[in-house]
Amino acid sequence: MFFCQKLLFAVYYSSSMNQCIKKSYSEHAAVIYGNAIYQFKKYLQRSILLTAYCFPRMEVSHTMLAIFLAPLYILINIYIVRWMILWMAACTHFFQTFAFRACFAGVYIFLSTSLLTCFLIRKPPALHRFLKNTANYFQGTFLYILIVIVTTDLCRLLLKHTLHPAWMYSRKAFVVTGAVCTLLIIGVSLYGIFNQWNIKTKTYDVKIDKQVKGMDSLKIVLLADIHFGYSIGEKHAGLLVKKINAEDPDLICIAGDIFDNEYEGIKNPKKTAAILRSLKSRYGVYACWGNHDLSEPILAGFTFRNAKKDYDDPRMRNFLESANIRLLDDETVLIDKRFSLTGRKDPSRCRKMSDTRKDPDQLTACLDKTLPIIFMDHQPGQLDEVAAAGADLDLCGHTHDGQLFPLNIITGLIWENSCGYLKKGTMHNIVTSGAGIWGPNMRTATNSEICSITVHFYPARPNSSDSS
């Protein structure tokens, strides 16, 4: 309620701010912001007490971080709303009326607080789903609203203190600038929303220096990070099945993050699993867990432990079984006595569940290293260790290749191989950008994809029948 009151208060007095467009920031606006900051301090104190009362069993670090970021998020939203209202008021007198501004502020408050309301309001399920989807769409759009407005203001300040152009202070320049920013935000957001459904097929050809009896090559389809939940469901599953089956694979590998934390987010799990049963491959479909393949509530990307529920949701395992997907949890299978496939536990999932995972050399210690060894590992870490353990092919996901600009730049700095192909010694590492989305319902910097990998072996040893 405080946020709503304060935002409406700012909106009400924004008519007087319109007289200060040329000066950008008026003394009156400074007074409003000063009062708002004072109120935010009080809000922060109340939030800490409320959170300590309502969420005593949640992970303290994430809870406290979310609390301290909340006032910053509110200030950013007030900054955005003020910018929007000033621009709209400069366009036409209709936007200067209190009725319009109150309606606009109300809609924006609903959108900006959907991250919190979808976390707190769980029933009825239909309302929770609506709020969750609203929040997912708003997250991505909010990012680009902030980037565009901040970039515009920085450019304005740079011009103001360097070139001092007279046109910059005109009403027309302000209206045109705002129009360009609005079109840019809408264009990028719509592109990202539609692009998430455009699943690409990326092809790789790799050569393993081992001989396999009766086999010259092996076609593997790699996918990861589907994130079945509120945003991804049966429609996406159908698109994936069609794309994968078109490749006519010998083996299908799903490198983690099949689910998006909340199993309840899947609208029709039985139908979705039935669609996945249509996947066709010679040797079957295998998967390993990812860091989101567990049950935990999420607030704006922050995860919390609910003490009343266990992380390990048995419904996720049952879903995989019903979809004919075999889970490899630090396990290895010898397929057709020709090659081995190992699925690793996820380190983040293990840490939350107080579990441990085997080292790469422990997983390969008892394997026949004359045969090809394929690893599935959700996160593309320990590449040197996996290569040293004797793996020939390492299949990973997790990064989404950033999913959104400029996050794709950050992931490139974090991971040795954030997406694509990398060779470590004799081992081939392939990281996919993911077949789904996490968080915002859009992809702007990368594509949803599956990877079609053709593994070539040295010429096969002739069978006895062939030599006769």
Quote the pLDDT of residue 12: 40
- Render pLDDT for 127-170 as a digit per residue (tens, 0 to 9): 988 999 899 999 899 999 999 999 988 988 888 778 777 777 78
**Euclidean distance between CA atoms 429 and 382, whole angstroms:** 11
pLDDT at 90 over 60: yes
Domain co-membership, 172 together with 236:
no
Domain co-membership, 235 together with 177:
no
Domain co-membership, 255 together with 112:
no
The dihedral of CA 303, 400, 432, 272: what is its sign? positive
Last residue of a domain, one of 130, 164, 194: 194
Beta bridge partners of 457: 208
**Euclidean distance between CA atoms 52 and 58, whole angstroms:** 9
Domain co-membership, 186 together with 215:
no
**Euclidean distance between CA atoms 168 and 111, whole angstroms:** 32
CB 399 within 8 A of CB 362: no
Q: What is the CATH number of the domain that holds 403?
A: 3.60.21.10
Report yes or no on 233 lying in a domain: yes
Give the number of other Cβ atoms within 10 Å of residue 66's Cβ. 21
Query: Around 35, how many Cα atoms within 13 Å sit in the side-chain half-sphere?
Result: 13
Helix (H) or strand (E) holding 292: none
Last residue of a domain, one of 160, 194, 228: 194
Quote the pLDDT of residue 91: 83
Total domain count, the chain: 2
Domain co-membership, 180 together with 208:
no
**465 pLDDT tier (thresholds 50, 70, 90):** very low
Computed over its alpha carbons, how large is the radius of gyration of the chain? 26
**432 pLDDT tier (thresholds 50, 70, 90):** very high
Last residue of a domain, one of 194, 223, 253: 194
**67 pLDDT tier (thresholds 50, 70, 90):** low
- Residue 163 belongs to what domain range? 2-194
Q: Alpha carbon of 364 to those of 210, 252, 368, 458: distances in Å?
A: 16, 21, 8, 22
Report percent pLDDT > 70 for the chain.
Answer: 81
The dihedral of CA 382, 383, 387, 392: what is its sign? positive
Q: Looking at the whole model, is its pTM more than 0.85?
A: no
- Render pLDDT for 304-314 as a digit per residue (tens, 0 to 9): 665 545 788 89
